[in-house]
Amino acid sequence: MLLLISPINIDEAQEAINGGADIVDVKNPKEGSLGANFPWVIENIRETTPKDMLVSATLGDVPYKPGTVSLAAYGALTAGADYIKVGLYGTKNYDEALEVMENVVKAVKNKNPKAIVVAAGYADAHRVGAVNPFEIPKIARDSGADLAMLDTAVKDGKTLFDFLDINDLTKFVKKTNDYGLKSALAGSIKKNQLKELHDIGCDVVGVRGAACTGGDRNEGHIVSEAVKELKDLLLSFD
């Protein structure tokens, strides 16, 4: 299982790299669960990150505006991201989410066929009116994306496990893998929850708070020691 760490700036990115993260995921918590950062931040982090390490960029908790979102995807790709993550926040159903993702995939893959596109839904979608989380694997497959992901939309201390139990998550991962895609899970994941996610075959786990001082995704900052502890723990499962 790969460890995705979400820094907000170049200093945090360096901590993530030093700690052994597999994917450096540029985001901006001030703008939401999957808040988008600035293109120059993506550029700076890509320049600092080893060439053999993936740099991810979140496009935000996006609205149902396929043109706007596909342009944002193109911008993130141009800024150096090779892993483009779309939070399907404003899409209320399969059809709307598919339209957004199809256009993102077209924008990204026409420019760089090797780039990775992630369709991200929310375990607590019912709290914000977003598309059903169990539709995400099919949306990812039908749009031509590479990964199906779940996070939480509202960051209020609740975790992924407060909305979906391990049986639900197992079904999500299996459905995603049956489609020939990779799965990713996030949502205020705690260190003691990693083993369960590993054991159900999750491909990527996304973390910010657990890698920050005080375990606080907003007020804390990522430190390499915490990242290394998480990475070593994942390696111990294999």
Catalytic residues: 27, 85
Alpha helices in 90-157 (DSSP H): 94-111, 136-143
Q: Say how far apart CA 145 and CA 39 lie, in whole Å.
A: 22
Q: Say how far apart CA 91 and CA 181 lie, in whole Å.
A: 21
Tell me the CB-side half-sphere exposure of residue 79, using CA atoms within 13 A: 25
Name which of 7, 20, 29 is nearest 227 in CA terms: 20
Q: Say how far apart CA 223 and CA 227 lie, in whole Å.
A: 7
Q: Say how far apart CA 152 and CA 134 lie, in whole Å.
A: 14
The answer to whether 193 and 161 have CB atoms below 8 angstroms apart is yes
- β-bridge mates for residue 207, sequence order: 5
